[in-house]
């Protein structure tokens, strides 16, 4: 089970200060290339002419990668125990993992940011109630919730997104609320109140724009986390149901054949590694870019 980042960890990721000043402004090539490649192949997967990812060919079961003896370029990365093409399943699995990551994070960040802005602005009892709900949500394991949904209504893509988003919003609420409390002490908020601005205008025109940098960093970092959670749920059988290709279930299918058919689990695992690493590196770069203490003036 992947370790969930705490609110303190997310806060540090969003506002951490590096003592070494940056020189120049460079785009992170490796994360952008990796993410761009996976997004591109996921979008155009139907146009790539790959074999049907669910088509079975038992005569070709456990065919090794093309560069191995008995391998074939018809299946460049080999086949699984049912003769399904691994490259095709990894490409189509990217659609599932990226869609789950993006949809979950968008839903969780939108709701969590709204809760954090409301709690930080109004304070008092509103803040106390919302933060207690947030704390209770953060204490609930996302894996357990997903397993409960899988048992009661069955595993599905919608249940995976729902289960993760229901827990994940609390991380955003906690971090955004902390930043809003700091912003509320600044002069521009007091000046807006003196000018007659109402709560809605102050929140949407003054507080929200000043938290977007932090929110974007958290969104980028959390996409990788959601992909790991989705893969873990699929590995346990509580995620995307077969025959839909999912990286986690592909790893699970090959765990009993690691010594004889290592490629079945290795290549989906490498796909998860590359995508999660790319999103984490991109999040680190965004953190450094949006933190004014890290920019060279």
In this predicted structure, which of 17-31, 80-94, 243-257 has the lowest mean pLDDT? 17-31
- Characterise 34 by phi-psi region: left (phi > 0), alpha (psi -120 to 50), beta (else): alpha
pLDDT (0 to 100) of residue 267: 92
The residue ranges of every structural domain in the chain are 31-41+77-291
pLDDT tens track for 85-96: 999 999 999 998
Q: Name the residue with higher pLDDT: 5 or 83.
A: 83
Counting residues of the chain whose pLDDT is more than 90, the rounded percentage is 28
pLDDT tens track for 20-73: 344 445 778 899 999 999 999 999 988 888 888 888 888 888 888 888 887 788
Token pair in block for residue 63: 């065919």
Residue 129 pLDDT greater than 90, yes or no: yes
pLDDT (0 to 100) of residue 52: 87
Q: How far apart are CA 45 and CA 200, in angstroms?
A: 43
Non-local CB neighbours of 282 within 8 Å, separated by 6+ positions: 28, 31, 32, 35, 220
Residue 18 pLDDT greater than 70, yes or no: no
Q: What is the dihedral of CA 123, 129, 134, 135, to 10 degrees?
A: 110
Residue 179 pLDDT greater than 70, yes or no: yes
* Spatial contact of 131 and 81, defined as CB atoms under 8 Å apart: no
pLDDT (0 to 100) of residue 118: 92
Instruction: Return mean pLDDT, the chain.
Output: 83
Binned at pLDDT 50, 70 and 90, residue 291 comes out as low
pLDDT (0 to 100) of residue 293: 56
* Spatial contact of 107 and 158, defined as CB atoms under 8 Å apart: no
Q: How far apart are CA 87 and CA 95, in angstroms?
A: 13
pLDDT (0 to 100) of residue 21: 41
Q: Model pTM?
A: 0.82
Q: How far apart are CA 66 and CA 87, in angstroms?
A: 11
What fold characterizes domain 31-41+77-291?
MetI-like fold (1.10.3720)
Q: How far apart are CA 295 and CA 205, in angstroms?
A: 25
Residue 16 pLDDT greater than 50, yes or no: no
Q: Mean per-residue pLDDT for 117-137?
A: 90
pLDDT (0 to 100) of residue 162: 87
């Amino acid at each position: 089970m992947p370790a969930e980042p705490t609110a303190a960890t997310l806060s540090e990721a969003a506002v951490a200060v590096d003592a070494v000043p940056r020189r120049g402004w460079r785009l992170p090539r490796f994360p952008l290339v990796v993410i761009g490649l996976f997004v591109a192949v996921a979008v155009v997967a139907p146009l790539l002419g790959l074999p049907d990812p669910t088509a079975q060919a038992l005569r070709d079961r456990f065919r090794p990668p093309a560069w191995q003896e008995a391998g074939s370029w018809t299946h460049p990365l080999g086949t699984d125990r049912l003769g399904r093409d691994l490259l095709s399943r990894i490409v189509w699995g990217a659609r599932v993992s990226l869609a789950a990551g993006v949809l979950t994070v968008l839903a969780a960040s939108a709701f969590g940011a709204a809760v954090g802005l409301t709690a930080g602005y109004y304070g008092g009892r509103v803040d106390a109630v919302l933060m207690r709900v947030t704390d209770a949500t953060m204490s609930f394991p996302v894996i357990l919730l997903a397993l409960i949904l899988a048992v009661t209504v069955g595993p599905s893509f919608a249940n995976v997104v729902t289960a993760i988003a229901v827990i994940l919003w609390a991380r955003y609420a906690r971090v955004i609320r902390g930043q809003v409390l700091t912003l509320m002490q600044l002069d521009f908020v007091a000046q807006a109140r003196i000018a007659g601005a109402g709560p809605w205008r102050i929140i949407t025109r003054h507080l929200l724009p000043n938290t977007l940098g932090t929110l974007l960093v958290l969104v980028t970092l959390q996409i990788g986390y959601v992909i790991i959670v989705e893969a873990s749920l699929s590995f346990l059988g509580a995620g995307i149901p077969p025959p839909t290709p999912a990286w986690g279930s592909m790893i699970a299918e090959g765990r009993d054949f690691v010594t004889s058919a290592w490629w079945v689990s290795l290549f989906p695992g490498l796909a998860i590694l590359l995508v999660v690493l790319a999103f984490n590196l991109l999040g680190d770069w965004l953190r450094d870019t949006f933190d004014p203490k890290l920019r060279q003036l």
